[in-house]
Amino acid sequence: MQIKPLGDRVIIKALEEEQISKSGIVLPDTADKEKPEQGEVIAAGPGKRLDNGEIAPLSVKVGDKVVFRKYSADEIKINDEEVLVVSESDIVGIIE
């Protein structure tokens, strides 16, 4: 099953990163809940519909690695894999 997001929504596969303190201790996921998340865009909608009816294209594309607000994503399961649905406005930036 594939999914095509509508509007300005983006489907993201989360990138899990282990956080290690300066002294070499691995920090659990619960250590810093307010930190933005990172992921890779696996699908993107056509863009946001403007008041005049035109569609403004998204700033991100499939394959981009992005940083987004932690609590902004909706989790869904596709092909037994959990992915995140995020509005483009909740994406903080593209990792280069």
pLDDT per position as a tens digit, 4-52: 999 999 999 988 765 555 666 666 655 554 556 899 999 999 999 999 9
Q: Does domain 9-95 have CATH number 3.20.20.70?
A: no
Sequence ranges of the domains in the chain: 9-95
Q: pLDDT value at position 1?
A: 61
Query: Is residue 7 within 8 Å of residue 80, measured between CB atoms?
Result: no
What are the tens digits of pLDDT across the range 53-84? 999 999 999 999 999 998 888 999 988 888 99
| Strand ranges (E), the chain | 9-14, 19-20, 26-27, 37-44, 48-49, 55-56, 65-68, 74-78, 81-87, 91-95
Query: Is residue 7 within 8 Å of residue 45, measured between CB atoms?
Result: yes
Q: What is the largest CA-CA distance in the chain?
A: 55
Look up the pTM and report it: 0.77
Return the bridge partners of 40, or none. 13, 65
